[in-house]
Structure 1
Amino acid sequence: MKKKWSGRFKKQLSNSFIRYTMSIKTDRRLALIDIICNIAHCNMLRKIGIITIKEKYKVIRILENIFKRVKEKKLKWRKELEDIHLNIERKVVNKSKKLGFKIRTARSRNDLSTTELRIWLKNKTKDIFEILKKLIKTIIKLSIKSKNIVIPSLTHFQLAQPIMLSHYWLCYKNMFFRDLLRFKNSYIFTDQLPLGSGAVSGTSFKIDRKYLSKKLRFKKISSNSIDGVSDRDYVVDFCFSCSMCILHISRLCEEIVIFSSKLIDFISIDDRYCSGSSMMPQKKNPDIFEVMRSKTGIIISGLISIMIIMKGLPLAYNKDYQEDKRICFNTSDEIYISIKMLNKVITKLKFRKKKLKKASKMDFTIATDLAEYLTKKGMSYRKSHELVSTLVNKFEKKGSFKKINKKELNKVTSNKYVLKFIRKYNIYNIVNKKTSIGGTSIKQIKSEIKRSIREIKSIKI
């Protein structure tokens, strides 16, 4: 068949061409938004005198009926009409040929399609923003509950220094809060109306873009028609925000998977979120965290895909942009359900307090604190670091300064402050001496929790 939107072609379209280039399977998700944009455009056409008030109400009634049928899932989409825009237009034409052809006046699919994606993305970004806020609130609650639980920190995946579990949770709170800011900025980039840019150069009709922006709830209007139809930075920014968020989720999932292994056994995962083995009866697998971790590849590949699509594209509109919707839809679906699932499962984690405390004392984890203590007593940090390193090397098998007796110690050093520190320290006063801003002391944790609560209450789109 010939294209329904042009008299330019003499030959019928190839069926294989139709199948390969159609986007209706993807962009039908924008059907309701397409109708809303059409209604706003009709109101604007009436405002500038292109259509009569009678024609306006007739078209709007037709569009409202289509809207109702879409919501009820009673409409069939025609593949040969390529996309959602031509499908909706054809349904209007079927009811009123004259008016159906009038509604595309002063408008192109180029500016319409990006407008609709921006509206969809604004709504979806708000949804993700709110569910991410809930996750951060959950993490803050977990940090409040964990103020008295000591855990070992790691560097290079080796035992480092003792910290509070609250401090650990607040680290992830910071990561996800940065993601929240990224989504907020992404929303700002998206909140710009391109409708009225036409195909590339604007239109000679005296359209009212301010009226359109008000009706479609955009804060800004694109200032350049070429950029209006060709800009997909907002898609890249959204995909980047999602990629950073899932990256942070993946890091947390990785640690939970490792710490739940019986080799370490710091964490127990609720049975409802684990699976067994089809062959090994004893297995309890952390499937939920593994699946969440795998979503990183899917979401980051979406970011890479849109960047590769954009790379080297000439101005202005190109059919390549058709793929932006598929990427946006898939990415947003995956990140939303991942955030929602993580929020649910982390509240069910059980931390093995005794094992965590025991591990916090292993392998001379307070060695740095001894070196700092000696420095405060007059020794240079270089010398104190050397002395403590010698002690650790000499008594490595003991694994703790507490297990070194006075006689053994005097064979290595006669420094009275070393013995004094060993006799006096305990894991809690070690942790609570970390009073520098951002440190793991209870005092700093309480301060950070208060600040976090204020921040999460105030941030909004």
Structure 2
Amino acid sequence: MTATPSTPQPWSQRFESALHPAIVQFNASIGFDIELIEYDLTGSQAHAQMLAQVGIISAEEGEQLVRGLEQIRQEYRAGEFKPGLDAEDVHFAVERRLTQLIGDAGKKLHTARSRNDQVGTDIRLYLRDQIRQIQAQLAAFQTVLLDLAQRHVETLIPGYTHLQRAQPVSLAHHLLAYFEMAQRDRQRLEEIYTRVNISPLGSGALAGTPHPIDRHYSARLLHFDAVYANSLDGVSDRDFAIEFLAASSLIVMHLSRLSEEVILWASQEFGFVSLKDACATGSSIMPQKKNPDVPELVRGKTGRVFGHLQALLVLMKGLPLAYNKDLQEDKEALFDSVRTVKACLEAMTILISEGLSFRTERLAQAVNEDFSNATDVADYLASKGVPFREAYNIVGSVVKTCLAQGILLKDLSLESWQSFHPVFEADIFTTIEPRQVVAARKSYGGTGFEQVRNQLEAAKQRLTQPLKA
């Protein structure tokens, strides 16, 4: 393939000819790293202020740089600054425009830094903001879960293990399980934030710089809590990004689990919820259908985030110190994961608050049509002094007999109960009533109505308290 002339690139006079046009396109990141422009401008302003503070440039030059960078910010927000492929990346695009605006002073901005520590700074500033936004979305999701749970403390729903009816539980208790998952997600992000909020600025390309910079000063300007202690680590570390993608994977995994339950609940076979028109679509050929597109899409998009985590792990596993061009691939994984997590959280929050209606009559019917109260019969016998393992075997015989006769436990006569063991008395019928089965579970964290009300109050308080890393 014959090379076509291309615009010479900016790095140095070391090169005698231009890049091949196809390589220009292959090499460029401006198409996606433009998303970092506001953070690049903010980081560059801090760097310029630091250069002036330590006397590497004059105070007047520092002010010129800061003003010029702010003008670029306003141009970008107004849609007037649209760098193209020839800029290669957002960092060069900004520096080139800055030099056009303020002249030779713009060429001094890159003193005592490299694109390696520059991009590392930008990504951390970006991710810091995104973590706070996602935490706020998680709190909003928790709030709608709490609102829904508050209305359904005494609504019963079959509880499952192995997707088999196990024991009835309060619907509020079921919903609060997802509140707890989201709480861990918020807490996990808070922990990761502490490792995101460390400044690599001033690490240079890999070895630091001979200029008398003050890395702690620029870190304070950017509200970083600390600076990297090792310049090699500063430019090559992406642990924080991997941690974020792992946390993101857990968030969407939790949303996907809830999505799967909603999909099952909305099916004709379960019939536990009705989908409202605001969050359901129809079939192009079957007019009777309402499709649970929101939870299905959340379930599907989960794989994207998992894939990005795997991609970044594979990307990093073979990289020698320090910076390598491979690291350009971290951005699209991060950007897409952030967009996907935020979109899924928004959609699920709307679904829970506006898109579902629980069919309480069907739920009441469901908890009365199975053997999920069998454990309570064993507990009843144990309370009467029968060893639990013996009680367990007795109840197994009772269930087997009921199945053979096509009846439920509640349909047995007292005489039949006593034929299995003489300690059975008339109170067995109250014991196995589903509401009593749920109410009896008063252990801390259990599904008993009193415990669930306590859990709701505690959850509300936790939402208002600051997270601790």
CA displacement at 1:425 relative to structure 2: 4.1
Q: Counterpart in 2 of 1:377?
A: 384
Deviates more, 1:428-437 or 1:91-100: 91-100
Distance 1:215 1:423 in 2: 67
In 2, Cα distance between equivalents of 1:13 and 1:68: 32
C-alpha contact 2:377 2:432 (8 A) present in aligned 1: no
Distance in 2 separating the partners of 1:418 and 1:326: 67
Q: Within 5 A, what are the aligned runs for 1:287-306?
A: 287-306=293-312
- For residue 408 of structure 1, report the CA deviation from its aligned partner: 3.9
1:401 counterpart = 2:409: yes
Which moved further from structure 2: 121-130 or 57-66? 57-66
CA drift at 1:169: 0.7
Of 31-40 and 172-181, more deviation after overlay is shown by 31-40
Give 1:335 deviation, angstroms.
Answer: 0.6
Q: In structure 1, what residue type is equivalent to 2:183?
A: F
Closer/same/farther in 2, CA of residues 378 and 95 from structure 1, 3 Å limit: same
Deviations 1:215-241, CA, capped at 9 Å, x for gaps:
111111111101100000111111111
Moved more, 195-204 or 414-423: 414-423
Identify which of 229, 243, 248 aligns with 2:249.
Answer: 243
Find out whether 1:264 has 2:254 as its counterpart: no
Instruction: Please give the alpha-carbon distance, in whole angstroms, between the structure 1 residues aligned to 2:102 and 2:10.
Output: 16
Mapped to 2, the partners of 1:166 and 1:409 lie a distance apart of 33
Distance 1:399 1:303, change over 3 A: farther
Shift in Å, 1:103? 1.0
Residues 42 and 103, structure 1, Cα contact 8 Å, conserved in 2: yes
Displacement of 1:137: 1.5
1:152, 1:357 within 8 Å by CA — same for their partners in 2? no
- Structural mapping, 1:62-461, within 5 Å: 62-348=68-354, 349-396=356-403, 397-410=405-418, 412-417=419-424, 420-422=427-429, 425-460=432-467
Pair 302,288 (structure 1): closer, same or farther in 2 beyond 3 Å: same
Distance in structure 2 (CA, Å) of the matches to 1:297 and 1:254 = 14
- Asked if the contact 2:378/2:392 (under 8 Å) is kept, the reply is yes
Q: Secondary structure at the match of 1:362?
A: coil
Alignment deviations for residues 114-167 of structure 1 (CA, whole Å, 9 cap, x no partner): 100100110111000011111112111211111110111011111111111011
Q: Distance in 2 between matches of 1:66 and 1:21?
A: 24
Cα distance in 1 between the residues matched to 2:364 and 2:12: 74
Asked whether the equivalents of residues 114 and 229 of structure 1 are also in contact (C-alpha less than 8 Å), the reply is yes
List per-residue Cα deviations over 1:391-410 (Å, max 9, x = no partner).
00111154421111244445
Match of 2:3 in 1: none
Query: Aligned-pair distance for 1:416?
Result: 3.2
* 8 Å CA contact 2:245, 2:308 repeated in 1: yes
Q: Which amino acid in 2 is paired with 1:107?
A: R
Q: Deviations over 1:33-77 (max 9, x none)?
A: 211211111111111111112222222232222111011111121
Q: Report SS of the residue matched to 2:424.
A: helix
Deviation, 1:414, is 4.0
Partner AA of 1:247 in structure 2: M
- What is the alpha-carbon distance in structure 1 between the residues aligned to residue 330 and residue 407 of structure 2? 56
CA apart distance, 1:81: 2.5
Counterpart contact for 1:274–1:286, Cα < 8 Å: yes
Determine if contact 1:24/1:82 at 8 Å carries over to the other structure.
yes
CA distance in 2, matches of 1:384, 1:279: 54
Instruction: Please point out which of 37, 40, 44 is paired with 1:31.
Output: 37
Kindly state the Cα deviation for residue 424 of structure 1 after the two structures are TM-superposed.
5.3
Question: Contact (CA 8 Å) 1:374, 1:418: kept in 2 or not?
Answer: no
CA shift in 2, pair 1:47/1:409, >3 Å: closer
In 2, Cα distance between the equivalents of 1:459 and 1:240? 23
**Post-superposition offset of 1:420:** 3.8
Contact 2:315/2:326 (CA < 8 Å) preserved in 1?
yes
> How far off its partner does 1:96 sit?
4.2
Whole-Å separation in 2 of the counterparts to 1:86 and 1:110: 12
Shift of 1:323: 1.2
For residues 307 and 314 of structure 1, the distance between their equivalents in structure 2, rounded to whole angstroms, comes to 14
TM normalised by structure 1 equals 0.97
How many residues align? The count is 460
Whole-Å separation in 1 of the counterparts to 2:58 and 2:467: 41
* Deviation per residue, 1:199-253 (Å, 9 max, x gap): 1011111101111011111111111101100000111111111110000000001
Contact 2:128-2:196 at 8 Å conserved across structures: yes
SS of match in other structure, 1:290: helix
Which amino acid counterpart does residue 373 of structure 1 have in structure 2?
A: Y
Q: What is the distance in 2 between the residues matched to 1:450 and 1:312?
A: 49
Cα contact 2:414–2:425 (8 A) shared by 1 = no
CA RMSD of aligned residues (A): 1.5
Contact between 2:376 and 2:431, CA under 8 Å: does it hold in 1? no
Whole-angstrom distance in 2 between the partners of 1:424 and 1:192: 58
CA displacement at 1:283 relative to structure 2: 1.0
Q: Which amino acid aligns with 2:409?
A: F
Partner Cα distance (1:379, 1:460) in 2: 47
Match of 2:4 in 1: none
Partner Cα distance (1:427, 1:243) in 2: 37
Whole-Å separation in 2 of the counterparts to 1:102 and 1:402: 85
In 1, distance between residues paired with 2:421 and 2:36? 77
SS in 2 for 1:364: coil
The CA deviation at 1:298 is 1.0
Larger CA deviation: 451-460 vs 127-136: 451-460
Q: Output the amino acid matched with 1:401.
A: L
